[in-house]
Amino acid sequence: MKQFTSVQDVADVNALVQEALALKRDPLLYQHLGQGKTLGLVFMNPSLRTRVSTQLAAYNLGMQVVVLNADKDNWALEFQDGAVMRHQTVEHIRDAAAVFGSYFDVLGVRCFPALQSRDDDYSEHIMRQFIEHSGLPYLSLESATLHPLQSLADAMTIQEHRPKHRPKVVLTWAPHIKPIPHAVANSFAEWMHRLDVEFVVTHPEGYELDSRYTQNATIEYNQQKALQDADFVYVKNWSSYEQYGKVLTEDPSWLLTEGHFAQAPNAKIMHCLPVRRNVELSDEILDGPRSLVQQQAKNRIFAAQAVLKNLKSS
Ligand code: CP
């Protein structure tokens, strides 16, 4: 695997999930594999889990890690080709990424969308420039449209807790106070499409995701109906795709409480974190026995480890 930007980069999803679970059982099995190799991690946006779990994963493989907070630790980057750089940006991505290419063996980047122009964000022009100009094996730490490391950890968590061979998995929109990217929801949808699950997406009208990611998932506007007999309920806010980047409603009736689970008594709850308590998810759910959020967060280490183990320069 030369890059990990999407489930499309993974030949056998089930095999990768099994490999990540095997690494969870024996994290130091390949502790010499990455000796002499350096992983560069560039964060253009904040992170807790991705930053720490990816570093731990690299250490488990014997790699060294350099972390840069973009525009704080390094010079402000310019991404426009042909730019006349008379303003705030100091170094062009062509130059900076080429330098990364000579320093690191693998490059990971987090680059959120601006949520201003759908075409710009969905072109992934920032991620593509890091890949092109570094020439390195590339690990997405969450891009404008996808968060595959999170989805791999989510697939591991479902595999560990599945009560039956083909569980019902529901992705439900949740309220939020500000516009949130689509990356986690898009990514979760495209990974569920590659697993043997019944997949349902529920949200208020106007929050339809890009159908390239939801594909043949059932779209159900009635949350209560969608939750019926669910085995896993993945809770996430996202802003509108059609009215790009807009918050259309903050309807609190979409906030899940125990009262929502009369028809899904055994449903487990998932969320990628960070979560705004009692806005996106209630305390009683997050602190109760349904919650798998800490298991998901722990699996981020071994998801990253499995991917790093498989990233190669050709
Ligand atoms: N879930 C996730 O990616 O968390 P961070 O934003 O803290 O990395």
Task: Provide the pLDDT confidence category of residue 71 given band limits of 50, 70 and 90.
Answer: confident
Exposed, middle or buried by CB within 10 Å (0-12, 13-18, 19+), for 223? buried
pLDDT band at 314 (very low <50, low <70, confident <90, very high): low
Burial class (CB in 10 A: 0-12, 13-18, 19+), 179: middle
Ligand 1 neighbour 272 (Cβ under 6 A)? yes
Average pLDDT, rounded, for the chain: 97
pLDDT of residue 73: 86
| Domains parsed from the chain with CATH numbers | 3-146+300-310 (3.40.50.1370), 162-291 (3.40.50.1370)
Question: If you take atom 7 of ligand 1, which residue's CA is the nearest one?
Answer: 48
Q: Output the DSSP codes for 192-243.
A: HTTSSSEEEEE--TT-PPPHHHHTTPEEES-HHHHHTT-SEEEEE----TTT
Enter the tokens of residue 141: 């730490």
In this structure, the residue with its CA closest to atom 1 of ligand 1 is: 272
> If we measure between CA atoms, which residue out of 237, 279, 275, 282 comes closest to residue 259?
282
Please identify, by atom number, the ligand 1 atom nearest to the C-alpha of residue 110.
Answer: 8
pTM: 0.97
- Measured in Å, residue 101 CA sits from the centre of ligand 1 at 25
User: Which of ligand 1's atoms lies nearest the C-alpha of 147?
Assistant: 3
> Half-sphere exposure of 36 toward its Cβ, with a 13 Å CA cutoff?
1
Q: 268-270 and 218-220 as β-strands: parallel, antiparallel, unpaired? A: unpaired
Whole-angstrom Cα Rg for the chain:
20
Task: Give the pLDDT confidence of 244-288 residue by residue, as tens digits.
Answer: 999 999 999 999 999 999 999 999 999 999 999 999 999 999 999
> With a 6 A CB cut-off, is 273 part of the ligand 1 pocket?
yes
What does the pLDDT look like over 194-248, one tens digit per residue? 999 999 999 999 999 999 999 999 999 999 999 999 999 999 999 999 999 999 9
Question: Measuring CA to CA, how many Å separate 230 from each of 94, 141, 152, 220, 273?
Answer: 47, 29, 20, 13, 21
Q: Which of 125, 157, 161 is nearest to 143 (CA)?
A: 125
**CB-ligand 1 contact for 150 (6 Å cutoff):** yes
Question: How many other CB atoms are found less than 10 A from the CB of residue 151?
Answer: 25
The pLDDT of residue 74 is: 84
Residue from 53, 142, 276, 301 to probe ligand 1 pocket by mutation (most atoms less than 8 Å from CB): 142
Q: In DSSP terms, which residues pair with 65 in a beta bridge?
A: 39
